[in-house]
Structures are given as C-alpha cells and as structure tokens.
Structure 1
Amino acid sequence: MNFSCETGGSRVIEFAMRFHLALDHVAVVARTLDEGTAYVEAVLGAKLSTGGKHPDMGTHNRLLSLGDRTYLEVIAVDPEASRPSHRRWFNLDSFSAAPRMTNWICRTDHLDNALAAAPAGSGTVAKMSRGDIHWWMGVTEFGRLPFDDAMPALIEWPEGFHPAKRLPDHGFRLTRLDVFHPEADKLLAAFPALHSVDRVSLREGPEKRLIATIATPEGNRILA
C-alpha cells in the first residue's frame, strides 16, 4: 500500500502518552454517490453538500453537517477514478447492497497512540487528502476494520482544523449512535477507550448494525 506514514519528527510515537477519542463522523456507503445521497436526503429531509474526491482510495463523497466537529458522509466508488492497487476503505470493493450506514469514525489527538492501543487490524497511519484538506487515518490492508467494522476508524485532523466548519449548518444534530455487534463486550474489552465516546452506545445484537438518531428541524429521524 503506497501511503505516506509519518512517525518521525513531531509525530514521534510515544506509546505511554494518553489519547482522547470523540465521535467525528458516520459513513453511509452506497453503490453510487447519487443513490446514497437520495437515501439520506429522503430519510432526513436534508440537502447534502458537495464533498470531493479521495485520490488514494478512488472514492468520492457528499457531506452533511451534524453540528460542531461532527458530520455525516455519503461515500461511494468514484467511477472516474483509477482503481487503486490496494483495497478501498469501508469495504467498498465488496459492497453491492442498498445504501446503509456501515462505519463510524472517531477522531483522536494522537493517532499513533490510539492505534497502538486499538485491536489488531485497526490500521496503520496514512496521510490522506481530499482537495486541499489533509489528515491522518488508520488505514487497513484489507479494507475492513475489526469486529465486522463495528470498530471505529480512527482519524486525526490537523490542530485547529475540522471539515465540519466548512459545511453549512442547517440544524441537524446527531444525538445518539447505537452500534450493535454479537461480540460488543469483546470489542469494549479490546479497546476500553470506546467507553468514553460521547453519544455512542456499543451493545450486543444478533448482527453488526449501526443506527443513528438525528435531530432535524422536523423532529428526530432514524438513519441506519
């Protein structure tokens, strides 16, 4: 995988350093960007903003602000992009179903330490970009995260920057995210830091599933 890993200089790994986690955004995966956008806009009564392209992954997205430093992303394979030599994130290379929310993403103030504490297979540090936006993310070799993607992807934004600040705020807010998995207790034991993530409930369920409660100008809506 041809990613730029930055572990030297100002990003020296200090495993003993503590790190903070917070809910950053949720991802709705779709076969096409238009299909995913139509699904989210129909459920929420929202108008999504143009996002951009991810050249390292061959994907593109549209976005919806969910308040300060939180947003919703609809993401799909970009048909105009060259196929990358590695697996795309969010298991997009194997996705063929109706649009649904498949992943959640937590931001951290120290990605190296967070990944060191996370379950095996949570990824390695990669520098990513979308237009003039750059960030670091834990990217996995196989395009999937532990526990059937119930484990959140981990991301670190440049200090003082967050893409939600660029999005129009239409009053939508994520009030609760329920993450279900048959081995939810094992995930929490493997990564206890998840206990501290506000608005997220990680619970046992018959299958992996994400359900978001989103407050809209017309009342609460459920997105799954």
Structure 2
Amino acid sequence: MSRSRIDHLVVTAPTLEAGADYLRNLLGVEPVPGGTHPRMGTHNRLLKLGESCYLEVIAVDPAAARPNRSRWFELDAFGLNPPCLRAWVANTDSIEAACAASSLSLGLIEPMCRGELEWLISIPANGDLVMQGVAPQLIQWPADRHPAAKLADSGCKLVGLEGFHPQAKQIEQCLANIGFDDCFSVSLPPPGMSPHLAATIQTPAGLRRIGGASGFRL
C-alpha cells in the first residue's frame, strides 16, 4: 500500500507580492523566491514549515506565455482573487498506486519542473481543485530531492491542517485509500460556510492560523 503525508500548502494570489504581504501580515515572516513553472505559466515563493514540508505562494507569471492548457490550482478562474489558502498537496511514495487506489479522481499524473527540480504530480485536466481543495493533489519527488531540504529555516512549523467540506466522509475514505498518515482532519463546515481549509502554524511570534476568507491570531 502507498503511504502519504502532507507535502505543502498552496496559497494562490493575484501576484507574488500580494501573496508575500499576506504571509507577512499573518505570520510575520517573508517567503523566499522559488522559481517558474514553464508548463503552467506560473511562479512561486516558498516558506519552510518542516524538514519535508513547506508553504507555496503561487501566482500567474506575467512574463510567461499563456499555456495551451488550464493552469493548476484554479488560477485561470480565481487567480485575481485576494490571497487565500486554496489547496494542499500530499507526498506519496508511489503516485501511480495512490491514484489507482483513491476513491476520488485526483487527476492525471504529469511530469513538472522548476529549475533543476523535477517531480510527478496529479492535476485535474480542467485545472479544478479536487473537492474544492479540501482533498489533496498528490506529488512524488525523486528520492532525497525534497525542496524543503534546501530552504532556510523560517522559524515556522505546521502544527495542523483542517478541511471543511459537506462530503467529509468521502474525503476521509480517499485519505485512507492512499495510506495518508499526518496532521490533517476533515469535518463538515459550520452552517452557512463553504468548503475551505485552515492551517495552524507555529511562528517566531507564536501560533497563527491561516485559511478560509481571512486569518486570525490564536
């Protein structure tokens, strides 16, 4: 059976500068430059959250040609919206086995690159998020080449990730099928609230929480 854990959180933003401001205001830290994704026409900044975990701010790259496909993480539809924790990605030791075992369609397995980094990731063909981003996309890195290992210590650590979705049981089943074992829980959203994610992060200034429509201090 495949095994999987949280790999990274995804904050979408209209620009990388707006995404960096969002994190600076909520967490008191600055994400570092990442790179470009040529196949998707996007670029990112990164924040280390652990030895094999990080947060990614991602936005459409204005210097890149528009790809002849849908961009990932619904950036074509919502890329101009304010920064928001929109998705998360689970690292698996066998992306083919995990996708085959999943009770939800997690997308097609595609090769991607950023600079010298290469990996496999599951991406819905239409660029939509799986279960509005509450279910994960899957990633598999080459052995001993996780990008978090090269990031400077930010003083931040992921404490927990929560998802809220009307189909929480189906997402739980998907996680069981892909052998997920990490600090993520999923439950029904409060009345009147749409599906969303919320992450609790230990920062140099204490615990902070990001997600949903806004962030707040604990």
Q: By the TM > 0.5 criterion, same fold?
A: yes
What is the rounded CA distance, in whole Å, between the counterparts of 1:177 and 1:195 in structure 2?
Answer: 17
What is the rounded CA distance, in whole Å, between the counterparts of 1:161 and 1:152 in structure 2?
Answer: 21
Equivalent of residue 34 in structure 2, options 51, 62, 65: 51
TM alignment of 1:10-159, pairs within 5 A: 18-95=1-78, 96-159=80-143
CA displacement 1:164-215 (0-9 Å, x = unmatched): 0110002200001011111111222344246743111111114211111000
**Structure 1 unaligned spans of 5+:** 1-17
Task: Quote the offset at 1:121 in angstroms.
Answer: 3.2
**Structure 2 unaligned spans of 5+:** 212-218
What is the rounded CA distance, in whole Å, between the counterparts of 2:201 and 2:177 in structure 1?
Answer: 24
- CA contact 1:21–1:196 (8 Å) conserved in 2: yes
- CA contact 2:87–2:129 (8 Å) conserved in 1: no
- CA contact 2:8–2:89 (8 Å) conserved in 1: yes
Paired letter, 1:216: T
What is the rounded CA distance, in whole Å, between the counterparts of 1:130 and 1:190 in structure 2?
Answer: 28
Secondary structure, counterpart of 2:132 in structure 1:
coil
Matched residues, percent identical?
40
Question: TM-score under structure 1 normalisation?
Answer: 0.88
What is the rounded CA distance, in whole Å, between the counterparts of 2:203 and 2:22 in structure 1?
Answer: 16
Paired letter, 2:210: L
What is the rounded CA distance, in whole Å, between the counterparts of 2:197 and 2:127 in structure 1?
Answer: 18
Which residue of structure 2 lines up, in the alignment, with residue 162 of structure 1?
Answer: 146
